[in-house]
DNA sequence: CTGAAAGCGCTAACAC
DNA sequence: GTGTTAGCGCTTTCAG
């Protein structure tokens, strides 16, 4: 049986209050009493029961990583793994604990964010994957527990967000395609009313318009960010519009780009010789696909790290709610052909 | 402020004990009292504080997923993601909570498995990534908290393991290479004293010997399961042994196979035309590499699911410690050339 | 069937 | 500085 604070108190000949003071580095305790208690605790291999601790103190430093839709991705998703690594990296450096919770649109309805925090005595959470139609989207604002959302902006006193300048990034990516001589560019988009879809669309449009271009008619394909939908959409597009003269596919995620390449290969086309394709995200897999995919690296691991950092600072009252925009980087690889004009 | 059991008791005009009985579906309570309490709880949006609950009841149904070395993989690792999905899938179906903890060899020393469980009031854990030199490797056996290890076998009354028949699987994989006409096969191995390395090595040897073959001299390359080491090892091998007539590389993981392919391409060789390569694991990325990698699918997600299932049953006393061996499947794709003999 | 009361292990006033 | 004590929100005897 594990030693409790009582056991330590008894063994050291002091009261439990004193042991608590010693263990938590309170100032109002004599150095030698502390020494002695710490030694006894060491000998007894005493470990404070964190559950009792947080119940008693009414607050914890535990933070949660809350993923919505994690189980719905049938495909592997590097994105979430990278995010986790970033979060856990931060927690690990600070000696904090992170618990990970998996939710979906239905469970959000059953239990609010605040209730989740209350149940588990969590100080705050990093939230990824919520849609604008999800209950959390509005209810987060009412929570007294701080939170940090990834890539979506939710207004609220205690809610921060960490994101990239998706518009600028997509502008760059589009401009790159244009610089390589592409004029007729098809768009493979994400969910129609997702924030990131809108932002990336704006970036693409801005670049196109600046160059006096616009997407050819019927060449904007919408998906729910699923690879299979990209494959299907592009296959359909090729059947009906092969004559439209499209030379490149601008995809809103790497997964969609991979799906696009599959459709193209299936139809007997070569990438990038017949069609150029670019993705977005910077998943590791894009270095191993054939061809290696030109994409925008969001530096997802950093996003996780900075989100955890920001959340922690909010919990400790050192930083207030804010919008953090992290840098991105255009990764030029082999999936775009330079056209002679 | 969230409602407590007291609030519900007051509002329903009963004692807290009765509310507790109603909430936990105890039999010794009249149907209509239960109804009433449940209705009040609903109205007050009452959610039991899980922290208080587990402190009070002295046991929880919470299970943990404990990953050792998660942060050390610089590369993405599908493996852990798949494992998580399997575990969370099970937990989700049962309405359980899983918390994920990241440890490494050092932190294992600071805090035993049992202490970790005690601190967080965890019933038991699924443990992945421990090495035979790690503190956990021996200390797990002494813990009263049940656990399930993935792919390593630790003896102990309360420890189960979920694994594949790596020896049989590697035998099959090797035999496949032999059936395709390969006679001189180089091995790209994992960590020298890892259990899985030994098992896979045994499988390879068994197949080779059965066919009257053995690995050419100096053609066994050891790594720590890092892609870069495979690249480096194979590059060195090619420089010194190109004449040995090796036609295929048998790799102990997909990551190593990817590293091997990189080295080969770097040296100007084509896969599978000049050299055949096979991997092991069944990571999703192997479907997108060039060429698509022939590998053994371990069905990692199922492993996670079954591990969580087994652990849960152990906690509830329905199953005792055991070794669970899950099926694997040879995935034949495009990285092996059939040699005419 | 239900209420009262004693804890679970710890923190945080409040005394001295 | 240190001991004492009242909770944190819940479960679980034990009465009745």
Provide the 10 A C-beta neighbour count for residue B270: 11
Tell me the C-alpha distance between A146 and A126, whole Å.
9
Please tell me which residue lies nearest to nucleotide D6, judged from CA to C1'.
Answer: A56
Inter-chain CB proximity A98 and B98 less than 8 Å: no
Q: Is the pLDDT confidence value at B130 over 70?
A: yes
DSSP state of B192: T
pLDDT digits (tens, 9 = 90+) for A175-230: 999 999 999 999 999 999 888 999 999 999 999 999 999 988 889 999 999 999 99
Q: Is B293 left (phi over 0), alpha (psi -120 to 50) or beta?
A: beta
Averaged confidence pLDDT in chain B: 92
Search chain B and give the residue with CA nearest A79: B76
Scanning every strand, the nucleotide with its C1' closest to B7's CA turns out to be D9
pLDDT for B241 = 65
Among A118, A279, A297, most B C-beta atoms within 10 A, so best to mutate, is A118
Inter-chain CB proximity A51 and B55 less than 8 Å: yes
Residues 27-66 of A with CB under 7 A from strand D: 28-30, 33-34, 52, 55-56, 58
Task: List residues of chain A with CB under 8 Å from any CB of chain B.
Answer: 2, 45, 47-52, 54-55, 70-71, 75-78, 80-82, 85, 88-89, 91-92, 97-102, 111, 114-115, 118-121, 258, 283-285, 288-291
Tell me the C-alpha distance between A305 and A60, whole Å.
20
- Which secondary structure element, helix H or strand E, spans residue B301, and what is its range? helix B300-315
For chain A, which residues score pLDDT lower than 50? none
Alpha carbon of residue B188 to chain centroid: 21
Of A253, A233, A237, the closest CA to residue A245 belongs to A237
Of B264, B241, B175, B47, the closest CA to residue A114 belongs to B47
Buried b (16+ CB within 10 A) or exposed e, B42-80: eebebbbbbbbbbbeeeebbbbbbbbbbbbebeebbbbb
Helices B78-94 and A78-94, packing angle to 10 deg: 90
What percent of chain B lies above the pLDDT cut of 90? 68
pLDDT digits (tens, 9 = 90+) for B60-76: 888 999 999 999 865 55
pLDDT for B90 = 95
The 3-state secondary structure of B60-120, one letter per residue: CCCEEEEEECCCCCCCCCHHHHHHHHHHHHHHHHHCCCEEEEEECHHHHHHCCHHHHHHHH
Nearest CB partner across the interface for B118, out of A2, A82, A100: A2
Determine the average pLDDT of the residues in B209-214.
95
CB A136 within 8 A of CB A104: no
Return the SS3 of B324: strand
Q: Does A326 contact strand D, using a CB cutoff of 7 Å?
A: no
| Residue A156 exposed, middle or buried by CB count within 10 Å (0-12, 13-18, 19+) | middle
Tell me the C-alpha distance between B229 and B237, whole Å.
12
What percent of chain B lies above the pLDDT cut of 70? 97
A99 contact residues in B (CB cutoff 8 A): 99-100
pLDDT for B158 = 92
Determine the average pLDDT of the residues in B180-205.
95
Nucleotides of C strand lying within 7 Å of any protein CB atom? 1-5, 7-13
The DSSP bridge pattern shows strands A329-331 and A295-297 to be antiparallel
Buried b (16+ CB within 10 A) or exposed e, B106-124: eebeeebbbbbbbbbbbbb
Q: Is B181 left (phi over 0), alpha (psi -120 to 50) or beta?
A: left
Alpha carbon of residue B245 to chain centroid: 36
Inter-chain CB proximity A119 and B51 less than 8 Å: yes
Tell me the C-alpha distance between B172 and B180, whole Å.
12
pLDDT for A324 = 97
A55 contact residues in B (CB cutoff 8 A): 49, 51-52, 55
pLDDT digits (tens, 9 = 90+) for B112-125: 898 888 888 889 99
pLDDT for B218 = 86
Tell me the C-alpha distance between B11 and A111, whole Å.
21
pLDDT for B119 = 85
Name residue A160's beta-bridge partners: A148
Scanning every strand, the nucleotide with its C1' closest to A57's CA turns out to be C11
Inter-chain CB proximity B47 and A119 less than 8 Å: yes
**Distance between B334 CA and the closest CA of chain A, angstroms:** 13
Which residues lie closer than 8 Å to A79 by C-beta, 6 or more apart?
A281, A283, A300
Buried b (16+ CB within 10 A) or exposed e, A26-59: eeebeeebbebbbebbeebebbbbbbbbbbeeee
Buried b (16+ CB within 10 A) or exposed e, B85-104: bbbbbbbbeeebbbbbbbbb
**pTM surpassing 0.85?**
yes
The DSSP bridge pattern shows strands A248-251 and B185-189 to be unpaired
Tokens representing B205 are 């040897």
| Residue B23 exposed, middle or buried by CB count within 10 Å (0-12, 13-18, 19+) | middle
Inter-chain CB proximity A76 and B283 less than 8 Å: yes
Name residue A296's beta-bridge partners: A330
Provide the 10 A C-beta neighbour count for residue A177: 25
The 3-state secondary structure of A236-296, one letter per residue: HHHHHHHHHCCCEEEECCHHHHHHHHHHHHHCCCCCCCCCEEECCECCHHHHCCCCCCEEE
**Of B73-87, B115-129, B194-208, where does mean pLDDT reach its minimum?**
B73-87
Q: Does B52 contact strand D, using a CB cutoff of 7 Å?
A: yes
pLDDT for B341 = 67
CB A62 within 8 A of CB A123: yes
pLDDT digits (tens, 9 = 90+) for B26-60: 888 888 899 999 999 999 989 899 889 989 887 78
């Amino acid at each position: 049986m594990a030693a409790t604070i009582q056991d330590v108190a008894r063994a050291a000949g002091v009261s439990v209050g004193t042991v608590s003071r010693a263990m938590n580095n309170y100032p109002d305790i004599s150095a030698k009493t502390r020494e002695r208690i710490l030694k006894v605790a060491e000998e007894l291999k005493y470990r404070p029961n964190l559950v009792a601790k947080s119940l008693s103190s009414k607050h914890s430093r535990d933070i949660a990583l809350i993923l919505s839709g994690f189980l719905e991705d049938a495909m592997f998703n590097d994105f979430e793994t990278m995010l986790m690594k970033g979060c856990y990296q931060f927690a690990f450096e600070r000696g904090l604990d992170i618990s990970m919770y998996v939710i979906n649109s239905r469970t959000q309805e059953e239990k609010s964010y605040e209730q989740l925090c209350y149940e588990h005595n969590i100080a705050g959470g990093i939230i990824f994957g919520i849609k604008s139609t999800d209950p959390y989207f509005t209810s987060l604002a009412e929570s007294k527990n701080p939170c940090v959302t990834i890539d979506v902006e939710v207004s609220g006193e205690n809610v921060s967000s960490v994101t990239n300048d998706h518009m600028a990034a997509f502008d760059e990516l589009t401009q790159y395609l244009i610089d390589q001589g592409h004029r007729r560019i098809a768009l493979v988009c994400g969910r129609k009313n997702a924030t990131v879809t809108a932002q990336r669309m704006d970036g693409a449009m801005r670049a196109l318009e600046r160059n006096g271009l616009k997407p050819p008619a019927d060449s904007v394909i919408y998906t729910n960010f699923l690879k299979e939908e990209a494959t299907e959409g592009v296959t359909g597009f090729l059947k009906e519009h092969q004559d439209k003269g499209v030379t490149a596919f601008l995809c809103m995620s790497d997964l969609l780009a991979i799906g696009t390449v599959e459709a193209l290969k299936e139809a007997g086309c070569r990438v990038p010789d017949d069609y150029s394709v670019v993705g977005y995200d910077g998943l590791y897999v894009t270095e191993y696909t054939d061809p290696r995919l030109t994409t925008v690296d969001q530096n997802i691991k950093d996003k996780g790290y900075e989100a955890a950092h920001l959340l922690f600072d909010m919990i400790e009252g050192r930083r207030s709610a804010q919008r953090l925009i992290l840098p991105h980087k255009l990764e030029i690889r082999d999936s775009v052909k330079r056209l002679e004009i």
